[in-house]
Amino acid sequence: MSSLPLLGAPDKKKPKLTVYTIEECQSCHLKTKRGFREGDFVHKREGQCQSCKGNLMITMIYAEPIKVS
């Protein structure tokens, strides 16, 4: 009987997530990871690569739990 109330609402704390944007150079495939900015979307082309002047494109936007260090 005493176990019943335990079955109720799961209120485990969810890990906090941060969203990152991954930009990849289309020529040298250098990847850079930065925080998500509003207006970002996957396959958006933006700016030039710092090392080879190739075109940058956003290849991934994803959420990752914040690492506790």
Cβ closer to Zn ion: 30 or 57? 30
Out of Zn ion, other proteins, none, which partner does residue 48 contact, by CB within 5 to 8 A per kind? none
Out of other proteins, Zn ion, none, which partner does residue 38 contact, by CB within 5 to 8 A per kind? other proteins
Task: Pick the closest to residue 44 from 10, 17, 36 (CA basis).
Answer: 36
Burial of 23 (0-12, 13-18, 19+ CB in 10 A): buried
Positions that interact with other proteins (CB under 8 A): 1, 4-5, 7-10, 17, 19, 22, 36, 38, 40-44, 59-64
